[in-house]
């Protein structure tokens, strides 16, 4: 009767074998010439090591027994040549495997990035970005390590050990059998250690990702940390994570190195037994000392590859755990695939229509039966209290999420049946939180349309009232913005975000409280620029300050995920007991002032 652990071991072994097959299948063919060259070099290393063990008998017998100087010099020269070959072969295999390993890491980094770009916004909402980045940076080297460990262990260590074992058997079969008998118990013990190491390794990787993620979040939010004197609290939190990671790493160290005393004990017993046996044979059987020295040299040379082979499963376990966590990301299926019948979106009027749209984040219902039309070439504003579902409406138009029920149409085409690429090419989007990428100011504006000329970039900046402050920067449009535009003010970042949307020159413009980060003067300037930019486009805009939407052709008032009112500013502001009228009364000075302009 098998114990439960036996079943788990077999399942894990199958999983590891499957992972090895997958990694080799994905990478072996692309690098077959490089691996073939490296394997050839490793074979040279293995055979030259075996030759050294074998030739010792001839050295001892020729020089110290027969005293033949010519043979001794010939043998010594051959040993020199073998060492030279061994050195060059070791150099070339190391360089080749390093280049292949670097290429594998680069390929998987590109592949991971490309795959992450296909995943929905929902995935990134659920996953913490800092931990995701930390996990990728730690785990991607696992695939390279699996390949390199497999190649070097098979072509060098295993072949070296087998070759030296053959030399030992050739020199003294009886003594060799004694050492072969010791191997199975040693292997089973190491297998047990590696089984316990597997779970500890995965836990350590997860804990380390939490540590790195927490540190990255602290750095990104350092101004909030200092403003709210959160240093001590966060230090305690991160300290607990670091302690947990430290304890897990200590456990891994104990498990990883536990085979050291075991191997050293076996090796010590083997060497002591060898000398005792050799002394007995030399005294009582008059056996040539060359045989003893050859056997002893082979045994000592076999110790190093045997030690590496003994650690192989432990190292392979760790590498496979890392590789498996990378494949868990690569194997994630995108939640929003284009349907088989999806066609490119054809824009005529850019008319947007919501029909009985429902949406929920998990079990939390956000939209209920939302229906409205945003006419082509007009501005439709979404207003209402926080949590009403306005941002969700904006996010459904570019299909950041798909509705749970109902449909969204653009010029009569259901956006669920058009390709996401063609849909988003017709949209320009300005989020509530402006985000800038590493690079120059010009680069960040040009992300809106990569083929835009410098003149078009600068024109978009003028429309967004960003041109003047850009020229005031040390290098003008070529000034690096720093991490997320840290060198710029919030208003400046938002104006660059608006310029990025304007240079796209798309027929549909989505504005999620685009002026929220601006001061009064900047807001007035940007609002004037937006009024000009919105001309002739279909615009869906969210605004908490009604002064920014009083001239919208249509205003949609939302509350609790439903549309409660619809009309323009004049009709809604005079409605009795209307939500918009109440909001308007609260903001009357600002709205009235803006209406008179």
What pLDDT does residue 170 have? 84
Mean pLDDT of the chain: 80
- Among the ranges given (106-110, 210-214, 235-239, 490-494), the one the predictor scored with the smallest mean pLDDT: 210-214
Last residue of a domain, one of 330, 357, 373: 330
Residue 112 lies inside a defined structural domain of this protein: yes
* CATH code, domain carrying 407: 3.40.50.300
Let me know whether 130 and 251 are in one domain. yes
Percent of the chain with pLDDT over 90: 21
pLDDT digits (tens, 9 = 90+) for 263-286: 667 667 766 776 777 677 767 776
CA distances to 122, 193, 400 from 337, rounded to whole Å, are 13, 44, 12
* CATH code, domain carrying 176: 1.20.1560.10
Under the banding of pLDDT at 50, 70 and 90, the label for residue 549 is confident
Task: Count the helices and strands in the chain (H runs, E runs).
Answer: 22, 10
> Which ranges in 373-489 belong to alpha helices (H)?
390-396, 420-425, 441-446, 454-463, 467-471
String of DSSP letters for 417-447: GB-HHHHHHTEEEE-SS----SSBHHHHHHT
Place of tokens 């929220």: 516
Has residue 367 got a pLDDT over 90? Answer: yes
Let me know whether 393 and 247 are in one domain. no
Has residue 7 got a pLDDT over 60? Answer: no
pLDDT digits (tens, 9 = 90+) for 526-544: 677 677 677 778 999 998 7
More confident residue, 171 or 3: 171
The boundaries of the domain holding residue 388 are 345-426+509-514+537-597
Mean predicted confidence (pLDDT) in 474-487: 83
Residue 62 lies inside a defined structural domain of this protein: yes
Under the banding of pLDDT at 50, 70 and 90, the label for residue 457 is very high
Name 406's bridge partners. Answer: none
Let me know whether 187 and 96 are in one domain. yes
Residue 269 lies inside a defined structural domain of this protein: yes
Using CA atoms of 55, 57, 62, 64 in order, give the dihedral in degrees to the nearest 10: 130
Last residue of a domain, one of 303, 330, 357: 330
- Among the ranges given (320-329, 353-362, 404-413), the one the predictor scored with the smallest mean pLDDT: 320-329
What pLDDT does residue 250 have? 80
Residue 473 lies inside a defined structural domain of this protein: no
What pLDDT does residue 263 have? 65
What pLDDT does residue 4 have? 35
Let me know whether 218 and 366 are in one domain. no
pLDDT digits (tens, 9 = 90+) for 371-426: 999 999 999 999 988 889 998 999 999 998 899 999 999 999 999 999 998 999 99
Domain count, the chain: 2
Let me know whether 238 and 98 are in one domain. yes
Mean predicted confidence (pLDDT) in 82-106: 90
More confident residue, 4 or 33: 33
Mean predicted confidence (pLDDT) in 222-227: 70
What pLDDT does residue 248 have? 76
CA distances to 78, 547, 548 from 594, rounded to whole Å, are 95, 6, 8
Question: Which tokens hold the place of 172?
Answer: 């003294």
| Among the listed residues 552, 551, 531, 535, the one whose alpha carbon sits nearest the alpha carbon of residue 377 | 535
- Among the ranges given (302-306, 352-356, 515-519), the one the predictor scored with the smallest mean pLDDT: 515-519
Interacting residues of 361 by C-beta distance below 8 A, sequence separation 6+: none
Residue 489 lies inside a defined structural domain of this protein: no
pLDDT digits (tens, 9 = 90+) for 23-67: 888 888 888 899 899 999 999 998 988 888 888 878 777 766 767
Residue 421 lies inside a defined structural domain of this protein: yes
Interacting residues of 94 by C-beta distance below 8 A, sequence separation 6+: none
What pLDDT does residue 191 have? 63
């Amino acid at each position: 009767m098998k114990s439960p652990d036996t079943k788990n071991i077999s399942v894990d072994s199958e999983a590891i074998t499957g992972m090895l097959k997958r990694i080799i299948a994905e990478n072996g063919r692309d690098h077959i010439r490089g691996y073939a060259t490296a394997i050839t070099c490793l074979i040279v290393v293995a055979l030259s090591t075996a030759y050294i063990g074998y030739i010792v008998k001839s050295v001892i017998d020729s020089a110290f027994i027969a005293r033949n100087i010519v043979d001794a010099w010939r043998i010594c020269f051959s040993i020199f040549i073998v060492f030279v070959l061994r050195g060059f072969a070791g150099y070339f295999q190391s360089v080749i495997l390093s280049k292949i390993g670097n290429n594998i890491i680069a390929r998987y980094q590109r592949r991971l990035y490309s795959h992450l770009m296909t995943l929905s916004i929902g995935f990134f909402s659920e996953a913490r970005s800092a931990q995701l980045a930390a996990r990728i940076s730690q785990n991607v080297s696992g695939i390279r390590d699996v390949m390199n460990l497999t190649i070097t262990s098979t072509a060098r260590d295993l072949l070296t050990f087998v070759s030296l074992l053959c030399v030992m058997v050739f020199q003294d079969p009886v003594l060799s059998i004694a050492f072969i008998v010791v191997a199975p118990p040693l292997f089973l013990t190491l297998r047990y250690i590696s089984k316990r190491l597997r779970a500890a390794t995965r836990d350590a990787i997860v804990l380390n990702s939490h540590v790195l993620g927490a540190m990255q979040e602290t750095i990104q939010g350092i101004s909030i940390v200092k403003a709210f004197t959160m240093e001590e609290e966060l230090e305690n939190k991160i300290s607990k994570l670091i302690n947990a990671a430290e304890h897990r790493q200590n456990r891994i160290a104990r498990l990883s190195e536990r085979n050291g005393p075991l191997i050293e004990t076996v090796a010590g017993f083997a060497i002591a037994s060898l000398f005792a046996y050799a002394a007995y044979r030399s005294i009582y059987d008059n056996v040539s000392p060359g045989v003893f020295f050859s056997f002893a040299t082979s045994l000592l040379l076999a110790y190093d590859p045997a030690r590496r082979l003994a650690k192989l499963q432990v190292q392979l376990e760790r590498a496979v755990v890392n590789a498996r966590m990378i494949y868990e990301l690569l194997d994630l299926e995108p939640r929003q695939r284009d349907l088989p019948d999806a066609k490119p979106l054809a824009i005529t009027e850019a008319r947007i229509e919501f029909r009985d749209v429902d949406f929920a984040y998990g079990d939390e219902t956000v939209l209920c039966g939302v229906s409205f039309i945003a006419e082509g070439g007009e501005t439709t504003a979404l207003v209402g209290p926080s949590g009403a579902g306005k941002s969700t409406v904006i996010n459904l138009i570019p299909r950041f999420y798909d509705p749970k029920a109902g449909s969204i149409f653009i010029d009569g085409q259901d956006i669920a049946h058009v390709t996401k690429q063609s849909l988003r090419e017709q949209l320009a989007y300005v989020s509530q939180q402006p985000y800038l990428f590493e690079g120059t100011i010009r680069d960040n504006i040009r992300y809106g349309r990569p083929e835009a000329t410098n003149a078009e970039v600068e024109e978009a900046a003028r429309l967004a009232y960003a041109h003047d402050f850009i020229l005031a920067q040390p290098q003008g449009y070529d000034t690096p913005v720093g991490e997320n535009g840290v060198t710029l003010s919030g208003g400046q970042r938002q104006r660059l975000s608006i310029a990025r949307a304007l240079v796209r020159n798309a027929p549909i413009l989505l504005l999620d409280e685009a002026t929220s980060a601006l001061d009064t003067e900047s807001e007035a300037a940007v609002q004037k620029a937006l009024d000009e930019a919105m001309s002739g486009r279909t615009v869906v805009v969210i605004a908490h300050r009604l002064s920014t939407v009083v001239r919208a052709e249509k205003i949609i008032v939302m509350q609790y995920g439903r549309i409660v009112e619809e009309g323009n500013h004049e009709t809604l502001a005079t409605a009795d007991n209307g939500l918009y009228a109440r909001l308007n009364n609260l903001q009357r000075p600002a709205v009235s002032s803006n209406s008179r302009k």
